[in-house]
């Protein structure tokens, strides 16, 4: 049997990159998956890649109403929610703090941090109501552990995700709800292409910043999220797990 056999799992940001790889992997491990994103075309691709196993829905995680709706839809579709991978995120503008705008700050924090807060709150409410154990994994970043330059809103929002993860882990451990974060290093996705301005030199620098001297594949993050969602990590909660080719270690 798969590691998530019979589990009902919500995945956000599932139209591409890490979330798409995760939705397909979780379905292959036996989960009933609801894949959510703003991008309907990408969701169609996710459903196809899963051989029709993954259900999809469009939603904006930064909206309280839509985030609540996602958890309701998961329960409507599968009768319950056992797990969630809160992964939707945006990179925002590139530039120093003194040049940055409030609009960009609010947009990035609104999706990356408030979006995780809203989804996680609704997931925890549903799990508490059901009185069953659950597991939640949030996508933070190496940028949620260490600083870096020229993306202050992103850094702040990802440190915020780590904080939300630790707080909820401690609050609900006794209820059997585990909450952890994955902290990806540089992963080959649309986001990394955008961040590096599609410059091969910048991508090379990213790759060089890891100890392994290579970029990560979306599936390598999905595998870590799978482990954190599964019972294989039954004594793990409140961690921010770097999956970064030894970037932080190096
Ligand atoms: P991506 O852009 O391919 O995926 C992000 C997905 O989130 C997109 O499909 C996008 O449509 C969706 N999304 C954005 N705003 C949304 C909203 N308001 N509501 C619903 N969906 C929304 O990039 P990715 O690299 O796969 O990113 C996934 C997560 O991984 C993000 O949280 C990102 O910050 C994080 N991350 C990525 C890297 C990397 O190097 N690629 C490194 C560290 C962390």
> Which atom of ligand 1 approaches the CA of 216 most closely?
40
Element spanning 34, H or E: strand 32-37
Choose one of 88, 92, 106 to mutate for the ligand 1 pocket test, by most ligand atoms within 8 angstroms of C-beta.
Answer: 88
Q: Given this model, what pLDDT does residue 249 score?
A: 81
> Which atom of ligand 1 approaches the CA of 110 most closely?
18
For the record, the structure tokens of 35 come out as 């894949």
Kindly name the residue from 117, 150, 154, 235 that is annotated as catalytic: 154
Q: Given this model, what pLDDT does residue 143 score?
A: 97
Burial degree of 238 (CB within 10 A; 0-12, 13-18, 19+)? middle
Q: Is 150 a catalytic residue?
A: no
DSSP state of 187: B
Element spanning 101, H or E: none
Q: What is the pLDDT along the chain (250 residues), one digit of tens a residue?
A: 899 999 999 999 999 999 999 999 999 999 999 999 999 999 999 999 999 999 999 999 999 999 999 999 999 999 999 999 999 999 999 999 999 999 999 999 999 999 999 999 999 999 999 999 999 999 999 999 999 999 999 999 999 999 999 999 999 999 999 999 999 999 999 999 998 888 889 999 999 999 999 999 999 999 999 999 999 999 999 999 999 999 988 5
d(CA 247, CA 244): 5
The alpha carbon of 157 and the centre of ligand 1 are apart by a number of angstroms equal to 13
Whole-angstrom CA distances from 159 to 38, 43, 55, 165 are 24, 28, 31, 10
> What residues form DSSP beta bridges with 177?
134
In the three-class reduction of DSSP (H, G, I as helix; E, B as strand; rest coil), residue 134 is classed as strand
For the record, the structure tokens of 149 come out as 């330059």
The CATH number of 8-243, from 3.40.50.2300, 3.40.50.720, 3.10.129.10, 3.10.180.10, is 3.40.50.720
Q: Given this model, what pLDDT does residue 87 score?
A: 99
DSSP state of 150: S
The alpha carbon of 158 and the centre of ligand 1 are apart by a number of angstroms equal to 12
Q: Check: CB of residue 141 under 8 Å from CB of residue 192.
A: no
Q: Angle at Cα 96 formed by Cα 90 and Cα 102, nearest 5°?
A: 60
Count other C-beta atoms under 10 Å from residue 34's C-beta.
Answer: 27
- Tell me the pTM: 0.98
The alpha carbon of 128 and the centre of ligand 1 are apart by a number of angstroms equal to 28
Which residue's C-alpha comes closest to atom 10 of ligand 1? Answer: 13
ipTM: 0.99
> Which atom of ligand 1 approaches the CA of 61 most closely?
19
Q: Where are the domains of the chain?
A: 8-243
Q: Which residues line ligand 1 (CB under 6 A)?
A: 12-13, 15-19, 37-39, 42, 60-62, 87-90, 111, 115, 139, 141, 184, 186-187, 189-192
The alpha carbon of 174 and the centre of ligand 1 are apart by a number of angstroms equal to 31
d(CA 201, CA 184): 20
Which residue's C-alpha comes closest to atom 44 of ligand 1? Answer: 141
d(CA 180, CA 165): 6
DSSP state of 121: H
């Amino acid at each position: 049997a798969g590691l998530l056999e019979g589990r009902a799992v919500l995945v956000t940001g599932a139209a591409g990159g890490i979330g798409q790889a995760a939705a397909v992997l979780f379905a292959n491990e036996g989960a009933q998956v609801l894949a959510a994103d703003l991008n309907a075309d990408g969701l169609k691709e996710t459903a196809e890649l899963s051989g029709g196993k993954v259900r999809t829905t469009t939603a904006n995680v930064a909206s309280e109403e839509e985030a609540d709706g996602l958890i309701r839809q998961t329960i409507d579709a599968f009768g319950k929610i056992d797990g969630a991978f809160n992964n939707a995120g945006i990179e925002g503008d590139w530039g120093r703090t003194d040049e940055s705008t409030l609009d960009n700050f609010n947009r990035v924090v609104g999706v990356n941090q408030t979006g995780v807060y809203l989804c996680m709150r609704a997931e925890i409410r549903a799990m508490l109501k059901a009185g069953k154990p659950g597991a939640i994994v949030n996508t933070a970043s190496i940028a949620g552990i260490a600083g870096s330059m020229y993306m202050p809103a992103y850094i702040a929002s990802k440190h915020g995700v780590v904080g939300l993860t630790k707080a909820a882990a401690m609050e609900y451990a006794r209820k059997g709800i585990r909450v952890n974060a994955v902290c990806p290093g540089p992963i080959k996705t649309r986001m990394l292409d955008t961040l590096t301005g599609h410059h091969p030199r910048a991508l090379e620098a990213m790759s060089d910043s890891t100890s392994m001297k290579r970029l990560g594949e979306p599936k390598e993050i999905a595998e870590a999220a799978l482990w954190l969602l599964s019972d294989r990590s039954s004594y793990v909660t409140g961690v921010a797990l770097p999956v970064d080719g030894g970037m932080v270690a190096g």
